[in-house]
Chain A
Amino acid sequence: MSIESIAALGGSSGTIATGWGQALDNTDNAQMTRGISDTVSAMPTAPAAVTAAGALVGATGTPAVGETSGSGFASLLAGGLDKLQALQSTSDGLAVKAATGNLENVHDYMIASNEAQLATQLTVAVRNKAVEAFNEVMRMQV
């Protein structure tokens, strides 16, 4: 549910997302909005994002530094978002158990809920950074 809201917010910056998508690998809009938020949830993605950005710059003249293809970046993003979704449904499931009094361990729920919350914060931070970076690129003088 909150994932959907993130995606929706991502969608509001639709043009940005499509911009990225085309430059990378014609990724469709939806996938891209998912993707952006995703980068952060898995930290190792960050270098990939950097290389992808490098490739983007490289296309304008300088030879590309990284070999990473755009689709790899997008799928990393999608994978991360799926992970976030999974964390949130675990947390939701335990919350329902708490509501119905069937929760075995209180800390299990608290840990799951904190993980989900932190992952969401991370995802949102990455999404915001990605949008910021895109705006930066857009302002670049060619």
Chain B
Amino acid sequence: MSIFEAIGIAGTGVTVNRKWMDAVSDNLANINTASRTADPAFRERFVVASEAADGKGTQVAGIVYGGTEGRTVYDPSHPLADADGNVKYPDIDMSTQMTNLMMAQRAYQSNLSVVSSAKEAYQAAIQLGKN
């Protein structure tokens, strides 16, 4: 849709940042997901953004997953603890996640404000010549 293009372009930014927020909330939700030491830990999700294929805006190029090693914690009372009393937690840094969340949220808001000013501008253009 090439008419009202600015809205579409800002819209791609909104979508990418929403997906980033989805990934961050996924990571945070699973920050305490324990697993057996023999099993893979929850893998951290990273959203990779790239310029849109048609050159108009941005897009999610793919999701990259973190490692399965996680960090081993000694917690013999845990039902999933192994013979040595160890369980595995995902290696997710809470403060990094929170920073990412703030960045994604700000970018999301900026894109939305582009949408609303573009909307106002287009509306003004539609009123052009009407007094």
Contact = CB atoms under 8 A, between A and B. Distances in A.
* A–B touching in complex (CB under 8 Å): yes
Interface of A: 98, 101-107, 110-111, 113-114, 117
Contacts of B122: 106
Considering the complex of A and B, which 6 residue pairs feature the smallest CB-CB distances, nearest first? A114-B129, A110-B128, A106-B125, A107-B125, A103-B3, A101-B3
B83 interface: no
A102 B4 CA distance: 10
B1 interface: yes
A53 to B, nearest CB: 33
Interface string B97-131: 00000000000000000000000001001101100
B91 to A, nearest CB: 48
B129 A102 contact: no
Q: What is the interface of chain A mostly: helix, strand, loop, or mixed? A: helix
Interface string B17-54: 00000000000000000000000000000000000000
23 contacts: A98-B3, A101-B1, A101-B3, A102-B2, A102-B3, A103-B2, A103-B3, A104-B2, A104-B3, A106-B3, A106-B125, A106-B126, A107-B125, A110-B125, A110-B126, A110-B128, A110-B129, A111-B128, A111-B129, A113-B129, A114-B128, A114-B129, A117-B129
Most A Cβ at <10 Å: residue of B1, B2, B3, B4: B3
Contacts of A114: 128-129
Contacts of B126: 106, 110
A115 B57 CA distance: 34
B1 A107 contact: no
Contacts of A101: 1-3
Most A Cβ at <10 Å: residue of B1, B122, B129: B129
A51 to B, nearest CB: 34
Contacts of A103: 2-3
A114 B129 CA distance: 6
A111 B128 CA distance: 7
A102 B128 CA distance: 19
